[in-house]
Structure 1
Amino acid sequence: MLSQRANLISGSKTSGMRNLAARLKAEGKPVVNFAAGELDDNISDVVKHAAIQAVIAGNNKYTETIGIPELRQAIAIRLSQQTGLDWSADEVAVTAGAKQALFNTAMMLFNPGDEVIIPAPYWTTFPTQIRLTGALPIFVDTALTGYVLDSAAIAEKISQRTKAIVLNTPNNPTGSVIHADVLGEIAALAEQHGLWVIFDQCYSDFVYAEAQHLNILQIAPNLRSRVVIIDSFSKSHALAGWRVGYAAAPKALTAACSNLQSHTTSNPNAIAQIGALAALEHYDSRYHEKVLARLNANRQLGLQILQSLRDVEVITPEGGFYFYLNIRCKINGQAAEGQISNCAQLVEHLLANAQVAVVGGEAFGDLNGLRISYAINESDLEQGLWRIVNCLNAIVEPR
């Protein structure tokens, strides 16, 4: 009954666990939701007031397909400041979140048979969108190098069919940040082999003192004609539900994405665009400093609690707002109700016995991982993490 394409798609495990946790909480169950990939913060007053005024002013009409010119120009100015290169509004396409920006890019770049290199663990949507184009995702396992990306591992995967490399820094789910030397080495590989680089920096506003986020074009400006920058207002401005993201790319690709978007969403949400414009034109530094300080405090508290885990590797996040655990030693371990045979069973075990919702690593191409968001209130964070520690520590290796 369904198309062959439908068989390439299964529901997002991150969205599925987030929705399940929300339903359980609505039923009155004391579930701590560590699955949501969004800030537990209200939006800034600057954004809020701009959106309200847009509603009052009657901004309810279609906008240009890839966003209002003022927002695209404001994004171009931001990118110029970030990269040290000149950007124009016609190189920016505003989309319904970064997810649509990635989808448009994949559909307009990749042909059946192309290969696209993706470091793993990866954000769950990357390979699904690539497969929808008929291209093939090729994975580089960073678990082998402590979840730190190695350019040599990228080089080993390059073939005559390779079309692009997807880079996500800070990484979702591990929180690792790609360092300058590695970015430079990957840029050299892309230039040598004529590859595109899809550079997803949606978590770049959340980087901690020991790390530094760099855009690849700061390292390799000569790669400008083959780089697509993906970003979003969802994380940085707590606007996940508003669905505002963007792709910045060479004009020909932006125009092609505009043609595609004209047949899908027509345009991004008009009111959300006004809010995003206000966020850029009237940057609220106190709001962002407050959010980052709270996240850093949660990060420190969480790392302190997670030190009590036994036989579990905790990856210290350099950016983003997730803890990532390597729970390989708990797979095939013995719990009160029986053996835990895989990561999915462990996630179910935590939900049933610790009443916490986490996302299993299989969603990210890693059968031995757990992702835990710490972008929640401090009380839930502390209570929920202790539940995880006690529940995981109770799982023992069978003799």
Structure 2
Amino acid sequence: MLAQRTALFKSSGTAAARAAAKAAADAGKEIVDLTAGEIWSSLAPNVRDGAIEAIQKGINRYTDTIGLAELREALARKVSLDTGQLWQPDEIAVTSGAKQALFNAAMTLLNPGDEVIIPSPYWTTFPAQVMIAGATPVFVETRSNGYVPRIEDIKAAVTERTRAIVINTPANPTGAVYDVQTLVAISELAVNRNFWIIFDECYGDFVHGRRTHHPIVSLVPEVRSHTVIINAFSKSLALTGWRIGYLAAPKDVVIAVKALQSHTTSNPNVIAQHAVLAHLRRDDGVYQANLRSQLASARQIGLGVLASLKRVPVPEAQGGFYFYLDLSELLKKSATGDAETADEVVNALLSEAGVAAVSGTAFGDPSGLRLSYGIPPQMLEAGLSRLVEFLNAWK
């Protein structure tokens, strides 16, 4: 017999897509995998050296539950620089990736019966963690507005039970970057209606074209007391497997997070902590600049290939490293006249074209398709070329 809460969620849709791609490859098929939310890159030299130095020093013991004091000091300086406001180490908690930071926020801020506004399409973990905490996700559709929520739609979703809103910019899966006006309006609403903003900026280092990423507390300083900032090094330093993230929040939130984390994972991996600390101390910006250049080049290659799509709009891909396709026109009717979903496209794409993608159903959007361009350019071009040929022939 399982606990009742297990009926509220299922395994991550993105993880399931990765698993399907791996199973097809293990079966001997030639697969181009466009599912993963990570960048194919070598380690940052400072990260590698910091990890090796820690190992050579024999570092293998517990740290403080929410991270090394020196790392929290370095992160406080980083967040201060990013936001233009002074942050203290006791307002920082280091976590085992952004997922734990988000889980900590959900479990320390939400009560059973609370409501949390989540713009849709959304990263699959957002509503799952809200429900684990006993709260209810309230979705606000964004498809008709370039995947950025309208403030009037958010206002309409606010009730007496609203406890928080999740803002993810640049957004996974859509790549949408929130504009200043929207962020300011959300901030003012949160202050006036007294609810939390859970601000996930894990893709903040990757914004393309003329777009700019704006940390929300830098726009409206008053919203700081209502905000939990979520970030990680998984994307910005291509360290997904190292599981090292952090949150910045009011001191009382961090105290509660520390107590919770002491009963879950305790401290994050000590070698990963020392590795990231070494990077923060020695960082000259070269590695991140090269990573951004790599993604910018891949994005241009991908957009060039996707420009040949006939019944699917070419995505804007404003931020992050995903192309998010709107398959609405493609899926209006099948040959039998029945409506289809992106699940069917994804399954056929994998079996017939050897391309793995993530269906938008994982993100609350049965007409969407997420494609990662964090892979090597030759593989990306080959995979997208197959995809375009396949979708253009879809009937």
Q: TM-score range by the shorter chain?
A: over 0.9
The separation in 2 between residues aligned to 1:280 and 1:136, in whole angstroms, is: 38
- Alignment: residue pair count: 395
2: distance between equivalents of 1:288 and 1:338?
49
Shift of 1:313: 2.0
1:200 alignment partner in structure 2: 200
1:74 aligns with 2:74: yes
C-alpha distance in 2 between matches for 1:338 and 1:164: 41
- Deviation string 1:249-297 (CA, Å, 9 cap, x unpaired) is 0111101011110011011000000111122111142211111111111
Q: Is 1:107 matched with 2:102?
A: no
CA distance in 1, matches of 2:206, 2:143: 22
Q: Identify the residue that residue 385 of structure 2 maps to in structure 1.
A: 386
Does residue 174 (structure 1) correspond to residue 171 (structure 2)? The answer is no
- Provide Cα deviations, 1:21-71, integer angstroms capped at 9, x if missing partner: 234334442100100000111111111011011111111111110000011
Percent identity over the alignment? 49
Q: Does the alignment pair 1:116 with 2:113?
A: no
Q: Distance in 1 between matches of 2:301 and 2:333?
A: 27
Amino acid of the structure 1 residue aligned with 2:345: L
Task: Give, as a single letter, the amino acid of the residue that structure 2 aligns with 1:8.
Answer: L
Q: Unpaired runs of 5+ in structure 1?
A: none
What are the equivalent positions in structure 2 for 1:277-296 lying under 5 Å apart?
277-296=277-296
User: For residue 370 of structure 2, what is the aligned residue in structure 1?
Assistant: 371
Corresponding residue of 1:341: 340
TM-score, normalised via structure 2 length: 0.97
- Alpha carbons 1:330, 1:340 under 8 Å: kept: no
Q: Secondary structure at the match of 1:273?
A: helix
The Cα of 1:154 is off from its aligned counterpart by 0.8
CA deviation after TM superposition for structure 1 residue 384, in Å: 0.2
Tell me the distance in 1 between the aligned counterparts of 2:155 and 2:271: 44
| Aligned 8 A contact 1:101 1:246 in 2 | yes
SS at match of 1:258: helix
Q: Is the 8 A contact 2:146 2:176 kept in 1?
A: no
Asked if the contact 2:334/2:340 (under 8 Å) is kept, the reply is: no
Question: What's the TM-score once normalised by structure 1's chain length?
Answer: 0.96
SS in 2 for 1:367: coil
SS of structure 1 residue aligned to 2:314: strand
Contact 2:66–2:94 under 8 Å retained in 1: yes
- The residue type paired with residue 261 of structure 1 is Q
Deviations 1:364-385 (A, max 9, x none): 1111100000000010000000
* Structure 2 spans left out of the alignment, 5+ residues: none
Equivalences for 1:102-251 in 2 at 5 Å? 102-251=102-251
Q: 1:263 to 1:39 in 2, by over 3 A?
A: same
State the secondary structure of the residue aligned to 1:198: strand
Partner of residue 302, structure 1: 302
Aligned counterparts of 2:101 and 2:176: Cα–Cα separation in 1:
22
CA RMSD of aligned residues (A): 1.5
Q: Report the Cα offset of residue 333 of structure 1.
A: 4.6
SS in 1 for 2:375: coil
Does 2:269 align with 1:269? yes
Paired residues of 2:92 and 2:254 also in contact (CA < 8 A): yes
For 1:247 and 1:27, locate their aligned partners in 2 and report how far apart those are by CA, in whole Å. 41
* Letter matched to residue 119 of structure 1: P
Residue 339 of structure 1 and its aligned partner are, at CA, apart by 7.3
Counterpart code for 1:189:
L
Q: Specify whether residues 240 and 338 from structure 1 end up closer, same or farther in structure 2 by C-alpha distance, changes over 3 A only.
A: farther
List per-residue Cα deviations over 1:332-372 (Å, max 9, x = no partner).
5547x997722211110100111111000011111110000
C-alpha change, 1:214 and 1:330, in structure 2 (3 Å) is: same
Give SS of 1:134's match. coil
**2:20 & 2:226 partners in 1: Cα distance?**
40
